[in-house]
Structure 1
Amino acid sequence: MTTDPSRPRFRRPLLMLSAGLLLAWAAHAGWFERQNSAGATHVTLATWNLEWLMSPGTQAELQARCTRQQPASDERALPCTPGRTPPPTRHEQDFQALSRTAQALRDHWAPDVVALQEVDGPEAARLVFTSGWRLDCFSRRAHPQKTGFAIREGLPYQCNPELVALDVDGTSRAGTDITLYPGTSHAIRLLNVHLKSGCFDGKLDRSFAPCQRLRQQVPVVEAWIDHRVKEGVAFAVLGDFNRHLDRDARFDAGEDEAAPLNVFAAWSDDQPKGAILHRATTDQAYVPCDAQDRHSRYIDDILISDRLRQRFGNARFGRQAYAPADAGRQLSDHCPLVWSLQR
């Protein structure tokens, strides 16, 4: 691949903007937020899939015209496939419980950024992240399952073009891309992904449709990783991989980069030199989100580049489980996963 679709699309046009428009765009990008020298000494990253998070009004509107199959990325609709669990219906007490979890995450971990999946844009995210956050850099698909970011207020950042190539079939989710501390020596590039579900284990060369789609997505992420390595940028890929990477990492990806057999080894292959990733969940026991958690292995993860790992010598892994008092609420089938990196 000779071009990188995730490069900032404003690089040349910025020179042509009027001073007023330039200032407005830069403010939106977070460049004029208060500088925080702590970014040079530590960074805390988190990821959280909020399971079809949308406002009650939006859900009522979309449910009225739901489709029997999963809507395409350009469709503003919800699925109502017979025999499959519909998107959850939430009430005010449910949103309050999710908001309490976000506040506990902030109190206990103070994350700089939370990568969000299955959120219907910043307005929906504000139902959970009520204060102290910038909610930005969301994908632009019409489908209510979007990726985006909650960024700690005061932290300088820049939204980069979304990785639309991850939508390999018109129904998959694009990746979203952000730079923390842009233009500084401790800049960090983050790619937020929510990959195809259904192919949690085993080789990707099976005829099973989810594995075929995931196999198409892996080279897209690999191209993004390789470009960052060549640029010499510290980076992380985080989100919902819908894959048991602890098992996957034990197997080779095969010789064909365009058709890999596994996920993690395709990305962490030291080609180009330095393309080595470190997983937050390596050797970590599974921490359930609550008593009803149906998972037994992580599918959410945070992968950091070797350059970023060398910058920070200490790492602390954690999970923000739901409070026992919120048992029975309609929360999410995922909870926040956190990796705090320090010098």
Structure 2
Amino acid sequence: AFPARPLKLATWNMEWLMAEDGPLATTAPPDRPHRTAADFEKLAAYAHHLDADLVGLQEVDAAATAERIFPARTYQIFMTDDALLQHPALAIRKPLRAHKNADLVELDVTPATAAHQLRRGLDVTVETGTTPLRILVLHLKTGCWDNPVAERHHSCPILLQQFGVLQNWISARAAAHEAFVILGDFNRRMTVYDPFFLLLNHAAPLSLTTAGWASPCENGSYFIDHILLGGGAQSWLQPHSLRVMTYRPDTQPATLSDHCAVSVRLNPETTRTFPAPTPTALSSDTQP
């Protein structure tokens, strides 16, 4: 069953969302955020306000932890199978049907002997009625925010390798004529002129839904959390639907996240192409 209303799609980095009584907590960095039961309740309230059908998550330790924010009575949680402390995940509102594809293991471009491995990509196919939607949730290497593509310091060559992996994934989706979405924390302030984005756009035409907008969650700078649409999904975008869910000042003492949820709305029955929005400051979607 597919919702009659447009499909709301979001990405949200949860900033070290971990169960404090879980087996992984003792192995995590001591300076990470430590959350109380009240913090989890506040995050769950924001997730309820977000009211998204599909939420790509980053930095989650386990599906059971994600279910404290996106309860199992409402959402199904998919997660990568790697053995890291932080995982990309996808919360899918029931009764939407989906199946997990093989993780995009190639996004971990580090040698097997490296002390710190990088995150895999989560690859899920969601049934949307007549046309399935392929979704890739990712969290890429940090540190190459807006550096030149020729940067040879530590972070940028690694990020460039990861973008090469994404090129191959995009090319495969285009060859199969699939509607697809790539969303998550790219750790890159991409614009339509960014050479890193142009590498992906060369593999197949993409819509960068955050292009031309300033994020109210990033002090008015460009986004690093992005939602990219490709294939048939490009024509599904509901115009002017980009939103950022900011936090109310009176909940700031709580340990929430250093990222805000970014969302757009899609209409899989739409076949026309909408013009890009005029660049401007984006209004926030603060909880009332």
Do these two structures clear the TM 0.5 threshold for a shared fold by scoring above it?
Answer: yes
* Alpha-carbon shift at residue 113 of structure 1 (Å): 0.5
**1:321 match:** 246
The alignment-based identity, stated in percent, is: 33
TM-score, with length taken from structure 2: 0.85
Question: For the Cα contact (< 8 Å) 2:215–2:244, is it kept in 1?
Answer: no
Paired position in structure 1 for 2:118: 172
Tell me the equivalent position of 2:29. 79
Aligned to 2:259: 334
C-alpha spacing 1:37/1:127, structure 2 compared with 1 (3 Å)? closer
Q: Is the 8 A contact 1:53 1:120 kept in 2?
A: yes
**Structure 1 residue 95 displacement after superposition:** 0.9
User: 2:228 aligns to what SS in structure 1?
Assistant: strand
How far apart, in 2, do the equivalents of 1:63 and 1:187 lie? 37
Is 2:199 aligned against 1:266?
Answer: yes
1:298-321 superposed Cα distances (whole Å, 9 cap, x missing partner): 100100014212245645110111
Q: How does 1:285-324 map to 2 (within 5 A)?
A: 285-288=214-217, 296-312=221-237, 314-324=239-249
CA contact (8 A) 1:120 1:145 kept: yes
Q: Which amino acid aligns with 2:42?
A: A
Unaligned runs of at least 5 residues, structure 2: 271-288
**1:121-153, Cα deviation, whole Å (9 max, x unpaired):** 211101211354333320112222101111001
Q: Select 2:180's aligned residue among 235, 247, 263.
A: 235
**1:198-233 superposed Cα distances (whole Å, 9 cap, x missing partner):** 100122332211111101101111101000000000
More helix, by proportion: 1
Residues 1:49 and 2:3 are matched in the alignment: no
Q: How does 1:101-180 map to 2 (within 5 A)?
A: 101-106=46-51, 111-130=52-71, 132-169=73-110, 170=112, 171-180=117-126
Q: Distance in 2 between matches of 1:294 and 1:143?
A: 30
Q: Which has the larger radius of gyration?
A: 1
Q: Deviations over 1:228-266 (max 9, x none)?
A: 0000000010000000002xx314xxxxxxxxxx32101
> How many angstroms does 1:280 deviate by?
1.4
Please tell me the root mean square deviation across aligned C-alpha atoms, in Å.
2.0
The answer to whether the 8 A contact 2:214-2:223 is kept is no
SS at 1:45 equivalent: strand
For residues 35 and 221 of structure 2, the distance between their equivalents in structure 1, rounded to whole angstroms, comes to 25
CA contact (8 A) 1:166 1:175 kept: yes
Give the secondary-structure state (helix, strand or coil) at the position aligned to 1:168: coil
Task: Report the AA paired with residue 158 of structure 1.
Answer: H
Contact persistence 1:245–1:264 (CA under 8 A): yes
SS at match of 1:307: helix
Q: Secondary structure at the match of 1:219?
A: helix
What CA distance in whole angstroms lies between the structure 1 residues aligned with 2:131 and 2:141?
A: 32
Alignment-mate amino acid for residue 300 of structure 1: D
Change (3 A) 1:337 1:136: same
1:165-223 CA-partner distances (Å, limit 9, x unpaired): 101115111000111117x5321100001000010012233221111110110111110
TM-score by length of structure 1 reads 0.72
Report what 1:18 is aligned to.
Answer: none
